[in-house]
């Protein structure tokens, strides 16, 4: 006899992506001659750059000879990659992070979903609204979120921090004190960022109330303005209250290759216990590690050629972002994001829901985007377009939107 984890049963289905797929399939069937262009995907489209490909080839060859063959990877990840990350992503920006505070993983999604395991069941979480849905969903599965209100699209024990045009998409401190605060900047889906000063306020707040910040910096590579922090550890005191999660997916095309890392500084302590020691237990028992071959490819992202090639790739995506922003602004839409992030967040015309706008874009322009309501209740009234598409298609899509 067994029983199911009832928390899983509480999860509403992924109406967002299944709903989009269904509508697009119906449209294609009814309009076989129309070319549908997707500006809705959060996946990258450009191939891995040559520096990464040659590192992959070399690593594969190493696996073929007894002297260089590698078995299980070390729990935290190979030192060559952790040392490179500590130097390039942190020490170069004045952040005091050491290689043994970095845990290599197979991508940010797993870490975003699993990090909640080291906190107690009654920990209250606070999330930006709208945001990447994994933070809330993983806490639902863990039984931490209370009951779902389908009409409001909210969970009773989650503290929502609305991010709308009214507050510049920068969340206000919540009325109730959370134990765990999820921040994602540059933000998916709004494409907005916090300045260093704004982020410092969050660090000070977390220290004041004794909370931990989970800082998701998956889109860090897209930051272009100096006043925006690349890492939360650029803020004073963050090593005592913040965990940072990063990915190689959006800066280096690893969405299918899989690599990421999480920084858990040893200074974050709950009484006598360091959170680092708990996450190390997890890595020792519940995590298999990213393969050597992939970690070698990750290290190649930091070589001189690797950095130059990746910079070019990010610039190509950001040119798409510019085209989308400009095109929408020319049409009179209010447009946000797309400057320090590959996401463009637009206000939709009054009187329409974000699904109405989805239908209009699909049926009139054969362009697919993502309704803002899919990212949280405060996303209603907005719509997300992404810069990850192909350059020519992005231009065609915007030309079609101009004709609407
Ligand atoms: N964090 C955010 C904010 C994301 O939008 C995504 C993917 O879209 C991820 C994390 C997942 O990244 P990864 O591919 O490394 O799992």
Q: Are residues 212 and 238 in the same domain?
A: yes
Cα 308 to middle of ligand 1, angstroms = 23
Domain span holding position 373: 13-47+305-402
CATH code for the domain in which residue 388 is found: 3.90.1150.10
| Residues in Cβ contact with 226 at an 8 Å cutoff, skipping those fewer than 6 apart | none
Position 13 scores a pLDDT of 76
218 touches ligand 1 (CB under 6 Å): yes
Q: Which of 135, 138, 187, 249 to mutate to test the pocket of ligand 1 (most atoms within 8 A of CB)?
A: 249
Q: Is residue 1 part of a domain?
A: no
104 touches ligand 1 (CB under 6 Å): no
Would you call 229 helix, strand, or coil by DSSP? Answer: coil
127 touches ligand 1 (CB under 6 Å): no
Position 201 scores a pLDDT of 98
Q: Which of 188, 262, 340 to mutate to test the pocket of ligand 1 (most atoms within 8 A of CB)?
A: 188
132 touches ligand 1 (CB under 6 Å): yes
Q: Is residue 191 part of a domain?
A: yes
189 touches ligand 1 (CB under 6 Å): no
Q: Are residues 114 and 210 in the same domain?
A: yes
User: Closest by alpha carbon to 376, among 176, 137, 123?
Assistant: 137
Q: Is residue 2 part of a domain?
A: no
**Single residue among 303, 330, 348 that ends a domain in this structure:** 303
Q: Are residues 62 and 124 in the same domain?
A: yes
Number of domains in the chain: 2
Could you report how far apart the first and last alpha carbons of the chain are, in Å? 58
Q: Are residues 293 and 311 in the same domain?
A: no
Q: Tokens for 22?
A: 């269904």
Q: Are residues 107 and 19 in the same domain?
A: no
Q: Are residues 216 and 160 in the same domain?
A: yes
Position 404 scores a pLDDT of 86
Q: Are residues 145 and 238 in the same domain?
A: yes
Q: Are residues 259 and 316 in the same domain?
A: no
Q: Is residue 8 part of a domain?
A: no
Residue 367 β-bridge partners: 37
Q: Which of 184, 191, 193, 218 to mutate to test the pocket of ligand 1 (most atoms within 8 A of CB)?
A: 218
Nearest atom in ligand 1 to the alpha carbon of residue 132 is 3
Q: Is residue 4 part of a domain?
A: no
**Single residue among 303, 331, 362 that ends a domain in this structure:** 303
Residue 79 β-bridge partners: none
Position 288 scores a pLDDT of 86
CATH code for the domain in which residue 266 is found: 3.40.640.10
216 touches ligand 1 (CB under 6 Å): yes
105 touches ligand 1 (CB under 6 Å): no
244 touches ligand 1 (CB under 6 Å): no
Q: Is residue 6 part of a domain?
A: no
pTM here?
0.97
Q: Are residues 366 and 291 in the same domain?
A: no
Nearest atom in ligand 1 to the alpha carbon of residue 109 is 16
pLDDT in single tens digits along all 404 residues of the chain: 999 999 999 998 777 888 899 999 999 999 999 999 999 988 999 999 999 999 999 999 999 999 999 999 999 999 999 999 999 999 999 999 999 999 999 999 999 999 999 999 999 999 999 999 999 999 999 999 999 999 999 999 999 999 999 999 999 999 999 999 999 999 999 999 999 999 999 999 999 999 999 999 999 999 999 999 999 999 999 999 999 999 999 999 999 999 999 999 999 999 999 999 999 999 988 888 899 999 999 999 999 999 999 999 999 999 999 999 999 999 999 999 999 999 999 999 999 999 999 999 999 999 999 999 999 999 999 999 999 999 999 999 999 999 98
251 touches ligand 1 (CB under 6 Å): no
Q: Are residues 252 and 316 in the same domain?
A: no
* Farthest-apart Cα atoms in the chain, separation: 67
Helix axes 50-63, 292-300, angle to 10 degrees: 150
**Single residue among 249, 273, 303 that ends a domain in this structure:** 303
The phi and psi torsions of 148 (rounded to 5 degrees) equal -95, 135
Q: Are residues 278 and 238 in the same domain?
A: yes
Cβ atoms within 10 Å, residue 149 = 11
Q: Are residues 74 and 42 in the same domain?
A: no
Q: Is residue 276 part of a domain?
A: yes
User: Which residue is it, tokens 């290689």?
Assistant: 99
Q: Which of 129, 132, 183 to mutate to test the pocket of ligand 1 (most atoms within 8 A of CB)?
A: 132
Position 14 scores a pLDDT of 73
Q: Is residue 281 part of a domain?
A: yes
């Amino acid at each position: 006899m067994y029983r199911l984890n009832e928390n899983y049963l509480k999860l509403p289905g992924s109406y967002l992506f299944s709903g989009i797929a269904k509508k697009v399939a119906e449209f294609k069937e009814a309009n076989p001659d129309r070319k549908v262009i997707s500006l809705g995907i959060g996946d990258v489209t450009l191939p891995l750059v040559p520096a990464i490909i040659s590192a992959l080839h070399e690593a594969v060859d190493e696996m073929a000879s007894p002297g260089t063959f590698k078995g299980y990877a070390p729990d935290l990840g190979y030192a060559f990659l952790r040392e490179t990350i500590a130097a390039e992503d942190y020490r170069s920006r004045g952040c005091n992070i050491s290689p043994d505070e970095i845990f290599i993983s197979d991508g940010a999604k797993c870490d975003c979903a699993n990090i909640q395991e080291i906190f107690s069941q009654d920990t209250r979480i606070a999330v930006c609204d709208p945001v990447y849905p994994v933070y809330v969903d993983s806490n639902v599965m863990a039984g931490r979120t209370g009951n779902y209100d389908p009409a409001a699209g909210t969970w009773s024990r989650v503290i929502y921090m609305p991010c709308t045009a009214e507050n510049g998409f920068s969340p206000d401190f919540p009325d109730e004190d959370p134990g765990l605060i999820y921040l994602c900047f540059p933000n998916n889906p709004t494409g907005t960022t916090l300045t260093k000063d704004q982020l410092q306020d969050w660090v000070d707040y977390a220290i004041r109330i004794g909370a931990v910040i989970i800082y998701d910096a998956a889109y860090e590579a897209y930051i272009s303005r100096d006043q925006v922090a690349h890492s939360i550890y650029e803020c004073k005191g963050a090593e005592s209250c913040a965990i940072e999660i990063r990915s190689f997916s959006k800066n280096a095309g690893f969405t299918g290759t899989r690599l990421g890392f999480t920084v858990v500084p040893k200074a974050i302590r709950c009484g006598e216990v360091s959170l680092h020691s708990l996450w190390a237990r997890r890595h020792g028992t519940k995590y298999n590690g990213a393969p050597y071959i992939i970690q070698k490819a990750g290290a190649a992202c930091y070589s001189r050629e690797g950095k130059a090639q990746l910079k070019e790739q990010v610039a190509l995506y950001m040119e798409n972002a510019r085209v989308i922003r400009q095109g929408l602004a020319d049409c009179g839409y209010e447009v946000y994001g797309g400057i320090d992030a590959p996401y463009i967040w637009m206000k939709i015309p009054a009187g329409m829901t974000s699904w109405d706008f989805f239908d209009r874009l699909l049926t009139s322009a054969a362009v697919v985007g993502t309704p803002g309501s899919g990212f949280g209740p405060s996303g209603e009234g907005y719509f997300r377009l992404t810069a990850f598409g192909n350059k020519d298609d992005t231009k065609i899509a915007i030309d079609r939107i101009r004709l609407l």
